[in-house]
Amino acid sequence: MSFDAATQSPQTDTISEARRQVEICNACRYCEGFCDAFPAMFAERVFGEGDIVQIANLCHNCRGCYYSCQYTEPHEFALNLPQALADVRVDSWDRYGWPGGLGALFQRRGVALSAALVAGIALLFLAQAMLTPANGEGFYAVLSHTVMVAIFLPAFLFPMVVLALGLRAYWRDVGGAPVRWTHLRRAALRAGQLKNLDGGQGQGCNFEKGDRYSQARRHAHQATFWGFLLCFASTSSATLMHYLLGLEAPYGLFSLPKLLGVPGGLLLTLGAFGLAGLKLKADPQLGARNAWGGEMAFVLLLGLTGLTGLILYAVSGSGAVPAMLALHLGAVLTLFLTTPYSKMAHGFYRFAALVRDAQQRQA
């Protein structure tokens, strides 16, 4: 082993391996129609580190290119573009998430995310025990609104700040230009429809059925994504109702928080557990190396967040509320706090990559 090889960081390794593969793809181009990553790739001749990171974040791991590739192992070119780009992505999110190293921990170690969850739940139990409210209705009888805000406001703002800094660094690395409305619109449409998981022609991606196309992953992801947004909108609407209208929880079934939250919770739960089930059937060799556990723990955490939220609603008024409240809020807390370091980060960087791609197409 040479001195140079010994001093190369793992990140340089993943970038140079991705570059090796991308250069072979650029001489072939058979996969041009699958997704946005290929036209972006074929517009270049020389691939700087930022180019590779941008292409990697554009890739949605649909795997169409792998199953179509004439150069996968045992061919000596040994192409596995979905894995090479996933490795670059995982490294890049780790690098952009301050403090460094937390990303590597939570993206790769399912046990770390599980431990964080246990800690989050414990914290909520502790808060209930030590700060028992004197009065209050519904779950505010268990944990006061003030305590909840004291815990969740920083737990929401801190990850947002870390992500904002990370996205700024990403934007600098990929050479991003000032963002215009048209860029955002194109990116939002492609993200909202998950265009990059539709195989380029709406046939879907290659995941749990190997070289057969399937819509299952795209649909499960859509349910998870839109379910999460609905849940987020539910919480936001409740916050607004609380502060602006003076309407405090608990809310009835036909209130905005419930109308958004119940379908959102159902979608999130079904989608996330669906994704976990599909992940069990798919080939782990086509995802990032050593990240399967962290990814699995993350989708399960999402599912658990949705499920505990629904159960909490179902048991309202019963003696199970304190326990379910601790479980649910513990899951939410863990999900929020680890956002810049878990697979959750992918949504933010992918969106940035789609915005950058929209810019490059216009250029």
**Binding footprint of another protein on the chain (CB under 8 A):** 23-24, 26-34, 39, 42, 45, 64-65, 67-77, 200-201, 203, 211-212
Shortest gap between Cβ of 274 and another protein (angstroms)?
A: 23
Whole-angstrom distance, CA of residue 332 vs CA of residue 304: 9
Find the shortest distance in angstroms from Cβ 27 to another protein: 4
For residues 9, 10, 12, 14, the Cα torsion angle rounded to the nearest 10 degrees is 180
The smaller minimum CB distance to another protein, of residues 39 and 284, is found at 39
Comparing CB distances to another protein, the nearer of 75 and 185 is 75
Can you tell me the distance from the alpha carbon of 358 to that of 160, in angstroms, rounded to the nearest whole number?
24
In the complex with another protein, the residue whose CB is nearer, 48 or 200, is 200
Query: Nearest approach, Cβ of 359 to another protein (angstroms)?
Result: 19
The minimum distance between CB 31 and another protein, in angstroms, equals 6
Task: Please name the residue that has the structure tokens 């505990």.
Answer: 308
Minimum Å distance from CB 220 to another protein? Answer: 22
- Least Cβ distance, residue 59 to another protein (angstroms): 15
Whichever of 39 and 133 has its CB closer to another protein, that residue is 39
The distance of Cα 65 from the centroid of its chain, to the nearest Å, equals 22
Nearer to another protein (CB atom), residue 41 or residue 345? 41
Assess whether the previous peptide bond of 82 is cis (omega < 30° from 0): no
- Of the pair 52, 268, the CB lying nearest another protein is at 52
What is the C-alpha separation between 81 and 69, in angstroms, rounded?
9
In the bound state with another protein, the residue whose beta carbon lies nearer, of 128 and 360, is 360
CB burial string 46-66: b at 16+ within 10 A, e below: ebebbbbbbbbbbbbbbbbbb
Q: How many residues in total does the chain contain? A: 363
Query: Measured from the CB atom, is 20 or 145 closer to another protein?
Result: 20
Beta bridge partners of 205: 214
Looking at the Cβ atoms of 66 and 140, the one nearer to another protein is 66
For the bound state, the minimum distance from the C-beta of residue 282 to another protein, rounded and expressed in Å, comes to: 16
CA angle 226, 267, 251 (to 5 degrees): 95
- Rounded to a whole number of angstroms, the minimum distance from the CB of residue 197 to another protein is 15
Minimum distance, C-beta of residue 39 to another protein, in the bound complex (Å): 7
